[in-house]
Structures are given as structure tokens and as C-alpha cells.
Structure 1
């Protein structure tokens, strides 16, 4: 769980600080992270192809997929075979943002002009009131600038041309991380960092994508689909926990790619970072008291306890029984009346979401748990990945090297690193129509299963 203050304050695009923390003495083998000079990134000519749903092994979690020689090359314009539609689930209960401390979106500002003098369209993201507008202590020298994109009358979409994921147990006695990568229909990526047992993270691995992708509004209102899906997963898992006397919990970070939109949601301290012109753009908010003061205010406002930057249990000494994150799925011991005597702890499962309009300057996505982000800055992670993409290293190998780098820098937690390389394709087709056949997941049954 979080070991340093990061105060990831906003769901808008945020550049990282150029200053990286010093590595421990034991990490003498750590790679130096210099800001790369951007150039055309070459990709390997031959790469194996596999189908992946999700794994939690400390070895490879997937193999790379890619068919294009250049890092930013567009996909072919010919129309491939349309895969069959995935099953859709029922309507999930709507969650009112106002009931969870969220505020209405700010009034959008006019578009801005880019360096080429052309008009650009700025993507504005609603910032809930629970998110501080102050920059992180890790990024206090940076300026928060919106990312602009060229106006275009053509339909565009971004597709996955390479991916990789790995999970390392590290020095922990158990592996509690899980992850999911799906490519049928709307590409879906999720990282789940469990605590107090493996059950909750495993449940999310098997069920959350079905709840989100099966939502009837996933294409028209994907943020609502993410919120409803995670809240429903929490409700269903708590019901199971009550019957099984299971108090495990999990944080999560998920990402969907719908045409030229990247839709992200997270609960807890799992994070999503986008590489834009080889610079990090943080798309998630860290839900912990040490990094997000507004979360402490929310906990105290409902009568919850705070002790040593942790959420205390309502009925026990908070110095003994506490939780490192303020939002999580599961954690029946902090939510069910049978454990709290009806006293609120303040721990909720409502995610915060953001929507980003992708541009040609957006290169790849990194999704990771706190075992990665606690020891490496956003700039270090993006520089690390970008340099290796320039060298033609496959995404799977980069993900494995990234997890090892986190361990060398002193991470004692489970480490999950997921890397997704994106590229644009223009045309009238939807994202579903040009997902490579080899990347289609075999777990379609999960899209229609009831939790």
C-alpha cells in the first residue's frame, strides 16, 4: 500500500515532475532514466501471437501481439471480418455522483490553438469535489496543461497493436494481484490489487469486465458503465463475503478504448498513466489519506476514524485495525453492519473516472498497482518504456523488465505492470471491426455470466 505522498489531484492530464527520488542502496543495478529524444520507434519484425484472458503468475502473463514495423504506424485500411457481438447484461443500478461527494463538471473552456496555428479541441474532464485541484508533491514543479487534438470530420479509432503484462510476487508471502486483458469488442484492461486475501481480486478478475462491458450504456456513457459495474461488483462480493465470512478486499484500475476515447476508472491506489509525446499523463486519482487530503475530509465528514494516514475500524483501536486506502471493493469488515455495528467507516467502492480524447501523440498506456508506483515516478516509468520501444523491444518484455526494475528499486509489494501500445486508424468503422482475430479473448462466457 502507499508508502509516499503523491496527491494525485486531478483526472485531467498531468505532466510528471522531472525530479526522480533516489533509489535505495540495494538498487545499484537500477537503470538510469534519462528523458529520451523522441524519434520513430521501431518494432521487432517477428513476434509470437497468443490469446490471453488474465493470469497472476510471477512469470509471463501474456505474450506480445503486433503486426506493424513502426511504433506509430497506422493499421491497414482494408475492412476485416466483423467479430460477433458479445452478450449484454442487464441494467445496473445507477449511482448518483452527488451521493458520494462528487460535483458537477466545470464549465468547458473554449478550444485552444496548437503550435501549428490550427484550432484544437480541448477535452475537459469532470473533476469530482473529492479530488483536490492542487498538484502532487511529486509533480509540484509541473504545469497542468490540457492536451489538445486536431478537429477532424473523419471517424477515427485507436486500436491495440501490442500489449504485455506481468505480475511479480516480490517478497510478500502471497500473490494477491490479478489482471485482465480482453480484446473482443471494446478492448478492456484491468489491474486488481487485493488485500486480506486473494478472493476479492480473483472475483474482479473473473466478473468485473462482464459487468462493465455488458452494461447497456457502455458505448454511449462508458463512465456510468464503469461506475455502475464496480459498485455492483462491490455489492455482489459483499453479499458473498457475508455468507462466507470473508473480509478480503481489492483496489482496481480499469481502462476501455472506444473509438478515439480512452475511458479510465479506479478505486484505491492502482493507477493508469498515458504516454503523450514521451511524457506521463496521469489519468487516475489515488484514494489514500496520505496522498489525497480531500479523502480524509470525506472520511471524517461521515464519522470515520483516521489514524496515521489510514482509515481506522469503527469498533476497534484504529492503531491496530486500519486500512491503507479510502476506497476499495470488498472489505466487509469495514462495511457490513455485523462488523461495524452500523457505524460508518467511510470506505466506499465508488470509482472516479476520466475520459481522454486520444491523439497521434499518445503512444502507450501503463496500468500498475502501488507496488510499481510507490517506488518509481511516472516519468521514470514512461521513460523506461519509451526507450525500450525505441529499441524495438516487445511490450511483453518491457512489462517484465519494468516489474523487475520496481523490485530492484526496493518494492517489497506484489508488482503488476501492464503495457498497452496504441495506434490510430481512420475510417467509418467501429473499434470492434478491426481488433485482430488473434487477439480476441476466449472468455466470452464471462461477458454473460451473473456474478
Structure 2
């Protein structure tokens, strides 16, 4: 697993007493699909489908791990694998079981953010208007070397011809895809960042959201909307609603998380030109 730290480059230590105010908004849409696949859960204060199981269990596994909160990355790794394990046992007893999901987790402890990802959901941070990718999509081509080293292959972009991602929960029902020395894993990639006074909000979206929006366009759109009404629920709705005209839309789920007041829009000062006309005689 690769850990990546995004170090704080601003003078945040000069503002040690600064306290962030967290607010969130969420919106999801079924898109062109017959049923909703995506789930989400948010806990603002840490005091018969797999997505539903992960939603209910994963956070509990993280905070109850013996390594938490001293070694957050280790606790998250344990929790992801612990969440995945029951489905291996269930599938061994019932061959008819088939389910799978990706997941992304954001933990905010004081000024630190930990983003754990297994699959193709994505978190993008807005830092003074700039889009910073806080997670990596685990598409098959990204992890080709690891997949092939474990005897897997990529066919037309799909892992062993089945999945478009290289990391996910469950899918134990597909022979040769998951297990010891198999190419599909549930181990998350964890990234850490330190909040700064320049950090405005984060956008968390599933693959259907990011198939249409680029990081930069999503941040620019959300920033403009928040400047208008400062309503995160409405912002999330507007982001998803903006995609509805696209024929490429699948199921959608996204969440926006605000760290402080909305970014201020400073009006441009209009330069005035004084023009003097003299009538020629």
C-alpha cells in the first residue's frame, strides 16, 4: 500500500487556536439505472446489500480498532479487511450470493484529514479555489503491474474480464478474482493532509459523478454556488442536477463538506474612462 502525505505549506501553526466549523450536504440520483446502488454515511462527531453493510459497519470497525486513534492508517486498513471478511465466509456457504461495492472514507481528527479509498470513488479538496485530488481512482490500468504479478489480466479495461476497478469489497463469488494471491483486493490506499486556513470545502463523489465532472469543473461549480447561497444541501443537489442532461449518467451520489465560511467573491473594480470631446469649429 502506498501512503501519501500532503503536507501543509501555509502558516497554519500561527493559528493554533483556530477551530474549523464542519457542515455537510448530500444528494444522490438514480440516473438512467433501474435501482440505486450508491450509499453514503456521515458522522459529524466521532463521540442484504454490501453497500448497506459497509455503510453500517465500516466506521464502527475503524473507531473500535486497537490502533485507533494513535495509528489511523493502520486502523483503517484493518477495518476495510475486517468489513470484507464476512462476505468471504458467506459466499463459501452460499454460491448464489453475489455482491460488490467500492468505498471511500474520510476521517477528520483535529486538523488532520485521512482519506481511505478502495475503488473509484474520489475526494477532491478545494484549497483557495484550486482542486487538489485527495484520493486515487483504482482503475485497472493504474494497477496493471500488481494485477499481472498476481496472475490476473486486463481485458478491454476490465479486471479478468469482469470489473472496471482493481480494489473493491466482496466479489468473492467470481472464481480466481479474490482471495490469497488474487488480483482484486479490499486494502485501501490512505492519504493524509493537514487542514489549512486556505481549505474551503471537499467534494466526495462516486464514479458516475466523476465520469462527467473534472476535478476543476466540480470545484469551480461548487465554489460559485456556495458564494450565492451558502447551502451545502442545495449545492450538492445542484451539482448532481447539472449532470442530468448527460446520456452517460449512471447512479450518482455525492457529498460536499464545508470547513468554514463560504469563499468570498470580491467584485472587480470597474475602471472608469473619462473621454473628452471637443467640437471642432
Q: Is the 8 A contact 2:32 2:250 kept in 1?
A: yes
Offset of 1:343 from its aligned partner?
Answer: 8.6
The separation in 2 between residues aligned to 1:157 and 1:203, in whole angstroms, is 36
Equivalent position of 1:166 in the other structure: 27
Q: Which of 359, 372, 375 lines up with 2:196 in the alignment?
A: 359
Q: Is the 8 A contact 1:271 1:368 kept in 2?
A: yes
1:340 aligns with 2:176: yes
| Secondary structure at 1:180 match in 2 | coil
Q: Is the 8 A contact 2:22 2:44 kept in 1?
A: no
Structure 2 unaligned spans of 5+: 262-281
Larger Rg: 2
| Secondary structure at 2:75 match in 1 | helix
Equivalent position of 2:38 in the other structure: 177
Q: Is the 8 A contact 2:38 2:51 kept in 1?
A: yes
Equivalent position of 1:231 in the other structure: 81
| Secondary structure at 2:42 match in 1 | strand
Q: Cα 1:155–1:242, aligned 2, differ >3 Å: closer, same or farther?
A: farther
The separation in 1 between residues aligned to 2:215 and 2:247, in whole angstroms, is 16
Structure 1 unaligned spans of 5+: 1-101, 106-123, 127-145, 187-197, 313-317, 425-451
Q: How does 1:32-43 map to 2 (within 5 A)?
A: none
1:287 aligns with 2:145: no
1:395 aligns with 2:256: no
Q: Cα 1:330–1:156, aligned 2, differ >3 Å: closer, same or farther?
A: farther
Q: How does 1:37-186 map to 2 (within 5 A)?
A: 102=1, 125=5, 147-150=8-11, 152=13, 155-156=16-17, 159-185=20-46
Q: Deviations over 1:272-319 (max 9, x none)?
A: 1111001111010111124x1xx011110111121111111xxxxx3x
Equivalent position of 1:386 in the other structure: 223
Q: Cα 1:156–1:368, aligned 2, differ >3 Å: closer, same or farther?
A: farther
1:268 aligns with 2:119: yes
| Secondary structure at 2:23 match in 1 | strand
Q: Which of 236, 239, 249 lines up with 1:412 in the alignment?
A: 249
The separation in 2 between residues aligned to 1:243 and 1:158, in whole angstroms, is 50
Q: For the aligned residues, what is the CA RMSD?
A: 2.3
| Secondary structure at 1:170 match in 2 | coil
Instruction: Number of aligned residue pairs: give it.
Output: 259
Q: Cα 1:286–1:417, aligned 2, differ >3 Å: closer, same or farther?
A: same
TM-score normalised by length of structure 1 = 0.54
Q: Deviations over 1:45-78 (max 9, x none)?
A: xxxxxxxxxxxxxxxxxxxxxxxxxxxxxxxxxx
Offset of 1:171 from its aligned partner?
Answer: 0.6
Equivalent position of 2:269 in the other structure: none
| Secondary structure at 1:148 match in 2 | coil
- Structure number having the greater helix percentage: 2
The separation in 1 between residues aligned to 2:19 and 2:185, in whole angstroms, is 33
1:296 aligns with 2:144: yes
Q: Cα 1:329–1:393, aligned 2, differ >3 Å: closer, same or farther?
A: same
Q: Is the 8 A contact 2:80 2:186 kept in 1?
A: yes
The separation in 1 between residues aligned to 2:19 and 2:205, in whole angstroms, is 21
The separation in 1 between residues aligned to 2:237 and 2:91, in whole angstroms, is 33
| Secondary structure at 1:177 match in 2 | coil
| Secondary structure at 1:179 match in 2 | coil
